[in-house]
Chain A
Amino acid sequence: MTSTYGPLLDQIRGVRWPTRRAVGAGLPGIHRSLQRGSSGEFTEYRLYRQGDDPRQLDWRLLARSDRAFVRLTDDRALLPTWLLVDGSASMAFPDVDVSGRDGEAIYNATKWRLACSIAVALAAVANASADPVGALCTSVSGEVRLPARARRGTINELGRMLEGLVPGGSAPLAPLLATLKPRARVIVISDLLGDIDELLLRAGQLAAAGGIIECVHVVAQAELAPPDRALLAQDPEAVDVQRVFDGGSLADYRRNFDAFRLDVARRWRAIGARYNEVRTGEQVPRMIRQIVSLQG
């Protein structure tokens, strides 16, 4: 695995992924916590109130001013990160052979490869901050779950797991999302062509419960610019959906697809989630930096 994702991980070394808002209490970590604690990072003074821990009294200040103040510090906590990777049949597009390829192609040639690369990269970024990283994947063989761990070797374990999966079927993502605890960062990596409505519903519930939701919409370049010749387009997840694709229908297709992407972006943002669209063929480290940035 290391040989597969090693170059990619080298390119994102040093990238941190702080949360946009304070997280709940937890084990000490790097994420700003809603709980005030006793860390060494001073924030402010507050008059002593009965019940405060006497150890937090600033004795020197008490000696100088004869007034009792306690030192307040922001607490830092860990944030579990869950990667929800869509391994349905639609992610195996375009159907190109990536074996033997090297460089960026092995990371972004197909939607599935791009999703795996992003998942491993984001996991590495999160794990670099000692955050526990877990993963939930769908595939042709069913659901695969990797528990959230912060120990070393988790990235390798995730990489091996994803390498062993074959995208297929049309398993929904929403049930997997429902199994996650709210106080976590959940990254949904999907083409959003499955159970989008149910997924948005579950994601909205998580976000309302305090979860941090990130959506990484994976789009293939071949979906944006399909071949300009007569083809019978068939949905790999719904055999009965067969449409003729030719030059005459290209404009309608593009219009409909653009409208879909705009709509899902709006809906994800509406529930408080971040939305990022990534496209096959683009550089994965750049996508990672875009995703982890605080803007957007």
Chain B
Amino acid sequence: MIRLLAPGALVAATVAAALITLLHFLSVRRPPVLLLPTARFLSPRDVRAVSRNRKPSDLLLLLLRVLALLAVGLAMSSPNLDSVSSSFANVIVADASWRSDSARLRELAGIDAESDVEVVFTDPSRGMRGELGSAWPAAWRAAAALLADESGIDSVGMHVFAPTAGVESYSGWRAWRLSWPGRVVVHTGAGKAMPDQMPDAMPSAIQVTGGPPDDAVRAGFDMYGHTTVGSSGMSAGARADGLGSATSYRVLVDRTDRRSTVNAVDASDIRSTDSSVDTSAAQAEGGASTVLINWPQNGVPAGWTPVSESAGALVVAGRAIIAPWHRSARAPDSMTPGRNRDGGNAVEGTSDAPGTPDAPIAINTPDARSGERVIAQWNDGTPAAIERSVNQSGGCIRDVGLLAPQIGDVMISQAARALFATLSAPCGAGLEPIPAAISADSGGLANSAPVRDLKDVITRKQNLSPSWLPAALLALALTLLGVEQLLRRQGDMPAGADR
């Protein structure tokens, strides 16, 4: 089927052909000669006159001229030969964290291997975590690329893999959503544990490595690791057998001393590059996600800066733990108020004042660029513990920058329960999930976006297919005109006629 990108040229050529046909009903020729002695009194002018005919004259010439005009018009209208069969394409927009596993996106979206798919990832520095609507520019670009590359596409399906939770803003989503002329499938939490679906989830196992045998941290996890932030009275080890939770995950607590040994330095180096080791450790094992807690017995977590300061209180899950805390590390600058925070994070109480130097960082608000969030902070607002998500596996790494007091009962006190419950909670716990109004929003449209509607928005690249077709049409037109000239010169026209 021929599709014309510029049909106006063909329309113009058709009009011109009609005019030519009309002209063939007029004969411009020398009129009959009359011997008139007073001819000198006529004004000199062209010795041709126009007369009307009932039938078109010179049908062969008319046919050649009309065909030549139509061929030129068709060539100028940018014809495309499309295959008759229609096809369907998909656009998948996902967070940059899916970049390493785009094949699974197709599987999760339920797209067969034969369909054309354009997978795009949102800006890794900000992406959909900062503004869910940021998926749309990428989606439109991908759709335009699909339409430009595949001329036979009839409709385009749209799949958006939104972050599980913790999106800063949805204000741009609605406006963009209205512009897409078809159904949008929003995948939230695909392949990841969804915090809002497991508010009472507890780890199947808590494994503490390193540290002294009588480590207060180990004792704290033993006592409070299997409790939830909101629950009370849950005894330690109650779920240590891994039973009792529909969604299983485990907690690995690394209490390695990272201060004195060479091996520790090497490990720190490895960890400072973030985390290929930690990441692999936090990857799901057998389908269960893992929470890796870096809480060095001595030293600092990777990326943290060693300090030696005192603090009066630690704020965790809305509770303040009053104790003579010793702050041994300072969180990375990206998570520290007033240091290199150039626009990613929302500050407490507002969302429009990023980068305010002394603004404290809100707990449980993930950083839009790195996906990190503060899960515990000192009384001066600086982070005491942060959580970093690890790709789509659902695992995360939590860095703790406080020196656990080994003397006293602070770590096993009732006040410390919130700290250990928070540290052993599932990844992403406490984040705000994607609103159902967005995840279930089809825009009132049941089908994929038809290409004819997308054309109204997308300026398609003028790819001519096949590319030789206009040239062939022009060559045909020139040939026809050449034949027409030849016929005229050979005197096929009536004697005396001059068109």
A contact set with B: CB distance below 8 Å: 89-91, 93, 95, 191, 193, 220, 222-223, 226-227, 229-238, 241-246, 249, 252-253, 256-257, 260
Contacts and interface: CB of A to CB of B under 8 A. Distances in A.
Interface string B262-289: 0000000000000000000000000000
Contact of B51 (A230, A233, A249): A230
Given A223-B37, A245-B42, A257-B41, A231 B47 contact: no
18 contacts: A193-B37, A223-B36, A227-B34, A230-B49, A230-B50, A232-B33, A232-B47, A232-B49, A233-B38, A234-B33, A234-B34, A243-B40, A252-B42, A253-B38, A253-B41, A256-B43, A257-B38, A260-B41
B41 A241 contact: no
B37 A235 contact: yes
Contact of B45 (A93, A226, A243, A257): A243
A234 B31 contact: no
B41 A235 contact: no
A191 B34 CA distance: 18
B35 interface: yes
A242 B35 contact: no
B408 interface: no
A99 to B, nearest CB: 19
Nearest to A250: B42
Contacts of B50: 230
B34 A236 contact: no
A244 B51 contact: no
A265 to B, nearest CB: 16
A93 B36 contact: yes
B46 interface: yes
Given A232-B31, A256-B41, A257-B41, A242 B36 contact: no
Contacts of A256: 41-43
Nearest to A246: B49
Nearest to A222: B36
Specify which of B30, B34, B42 lies most central, judged by the most chain A CB atoms within 10 Å of its CB: B42
Contact of A244 (B37, B40, B41, B42): B42
A249 B40 contact: no
B48 interface: yes
B45 A249 contact: yes
Contacts of A245: 31, 34, 36, 39, 42
B470 to A, nearest CB: 43
Specify which of B34, B47, B48, B49 lies most central, judged by the most chain A CB atoms within 10 Å of its CB: B34
Contacts of A232: 30-34, 47, 49
Contacts of A253: 38, 41-42
Given A231-B34, A232-B32, A234-B34, A241 B39 contact: yes
A252 B43 contact: yes
A244 B36 contact: no
A120 to B, nearest CB: 23
Given A244-B31, A244-B48, A244-B49, A233 B39 contact: yes
Specify which of B32, B43, B44, B51 lies most central, judged by the most chain A CB atoms within 10 Å of its CB: B43
A279 B39 CA distance: 18
B37 A243 contact: no
Interface of B: 30-51
A253 B37 CA distance: 12
B465 to A, nearest CB: 53
B363 to A, nearest CB: 96
Nearest to A236: B35
Nearest to B51: A230
Contacts of A252: 42-43
Contact of A249 (B30, B33, B42): B42
A235 B51 contact: no
Contacts of B43: 243, 249, 252, 256
A291 B35 CA distance: 29
Given A242-B47, A244-B48, A245-B34, A234 B42 contact: no
B37 A231 contact: no
Specify which of B35, B46, B47, B51 lies most central, judged by the most chain A CB atoms within 10 Å of its CB: B35
Contacts of A234: 33-36, 39
Contact of A235 (B36, B47, B48): B36
Contacts of B44: 243
A251 B313 CA distance: 115
B42 A93 contact: no
Contacts of A90: 37
B69 to A, nearest CB: 29
Contacts of A220: 37
Contacts of B37: 89-91, 93, 191, 193, 220, 223, 235-237
Given A89-B37, A232-B34, A245-B34, 12 more contacts: A93-B37, A95-B35, A191-B37, A223-B38, A231-B32, A234-B34, A235-B35, A243-B45, A244-B42, A245-B42, A249-B45, A257-B41
B310 to A, nearest CB: 113
Contacts of B36: 93, 222-223, 226, 231, 233-235, 245
A90 B38 CA distance: 8
B39 A235 contact: yes
A237 B38 CA distance: 10
A236 B48 CA distance: 19
A244 B46 CA distance: 7
Contacts of A226: 34, 36
A-B pairs with lowest CB-CB distance, top 7: A90-B37, A243-B42, A233-B39, A256-B41, A230-B31, A233-B36, A230-B49
B48 to A, nearest CB: 7
A219 B227 CA distance: 132
Nearest to A238: B40
A279 to B, nearest CB: 13
Given A249-B42, A260-B41, A93 B35 contact: yes
Contacts of B30: 232
A91 B37 CA distance: 8
A242 B44 CA distance: 8
Nearest to A259: B41
Given A232-B30, A249-B42, A257-B41, A243 B47 contact: yes
